[in-house]
């Protein structure tokens, strides 16, 4: 299903888009204020892909076993991604690429080959997103911040049995707030790979450790 150029204020619900291995199950480009609710997108290239689309709601969908990504946002702002199941995708369950002010809440993101939730920003950055109340289990990395990701909030998520719980992979991943997350049986719970000078990490749910405005080359919990 493909919506393009100002296809706004639509409701897409109750559909099945499976086994389109080279394409997206649902693709929105330059489309705002749409609702994608209670659909299935399994075995596609991408399950649900939003490009340059704002103020959309993607909720209650099942996006499993896609050959690349479950849900992918690229240059998208003010969207809500909530209550979805994104399991067994080959790359990432949910990807947020160069996007701002999105809410990623209450999703089950499990058994993805690479990352559960992946945030990436380059010159456009990936800032001011809220990642809360998600369950991230059995992924290679539960939550991955790459390149320039700032001022994001990560709160009240469950990260269980991932090889790595959370990783910050660049000096540009600073000024993020992490609190009240629960880490259980991950290979390593959190890691900072480069020098990060600002940020708040508190009430991680393992030891109640508080790390604030510290300069760390690598932080492992």
Please write the tens of the pLDDT for every residue from 24-38: 999 999 999 999 999
68 vs 23, more confident: 68
Residue 201 is predicted with a pLDDT of 56
* Lowest model confidence (mean pLDDT) among 40-44, 62-66, 75-79, 163-167: 163-167
| Fold of the domain spanning 2-212 | Pectate Lyase C-like (2.160.20)
pTM: 0.88
Band of the pLDDT at 169, cuts 50, 70, 90? Answer: confident
Tens of pLDDT, residues 118-167: 999 987 899 999 999 999 999 999 999 998 898 999 999 999 999 999 98
Predicted local distance difference test score (pLDDT) of residue 204? 46
**What's the whole-number average pLDDT of the chain?**
88
**Three-state secondary structure of the chain:** CEEECCCCCCEEECCECCCCCCCEEEEEECCCCCEEECCECCCCCEEEEEECCCCCEEECCECCCCCCEEEEEECCECCEEECCECCCCCCEEEEEECCECCEEECCEEECCCCEEEEEEECCCCCCCCEEECCEEECCCEEEEEEECCCCCEEECCEEECCCEEEEECCCCCCCCEEECCEEECCCEEEEECCCECCCEEECCCCCCCEEECCCECCCCC
């Amino acid at each position: 299903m493909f919506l393009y150029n100002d296809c706004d204020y639509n409701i897409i619900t109750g559909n099945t888009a499976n086994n389109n291995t080279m394409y997206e199950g649902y693709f929105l480009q330059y489309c705002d204020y749409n609702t994608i609710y209670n659909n299935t997108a399994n075995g596609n290239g991408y399950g649900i892909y939003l490009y340059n689309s704002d103020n959309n709601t993607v909720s209650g969908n099942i996006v499993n076993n896609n050959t690349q990504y479950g849900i992918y946002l690229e240059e998208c702002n003010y969207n809500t991604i909530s209550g979805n199941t994104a399991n067994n995708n080959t790359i990432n369950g949910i990807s947020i690429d160069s996007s701002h002010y999105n809410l990623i809440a209450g999703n089950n993101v499990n058994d993805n080959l690479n990352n559960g939730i992946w945030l990436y920003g380059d010159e456009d950055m990936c800032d001011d997103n809220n990642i809360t109340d998600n369950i991230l289990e059995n992924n290679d990395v539960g939550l991955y911040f790459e390149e320039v990701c700032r001022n994001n909030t990560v709160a009240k998520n469950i990260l269980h049995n991932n090889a790595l719980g959370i990783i910050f992979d660049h000096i540009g991943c600073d000024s993020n707030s992490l609190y009240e997350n629960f880490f259980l049986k991950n290979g390593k719970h959190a890691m900072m790979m480069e020098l990060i000078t600002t940020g708040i990490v508190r009430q991680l749910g393992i030891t109640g450790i508080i790390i604030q405005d510290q300069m760390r080359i690598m932080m492992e919990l």
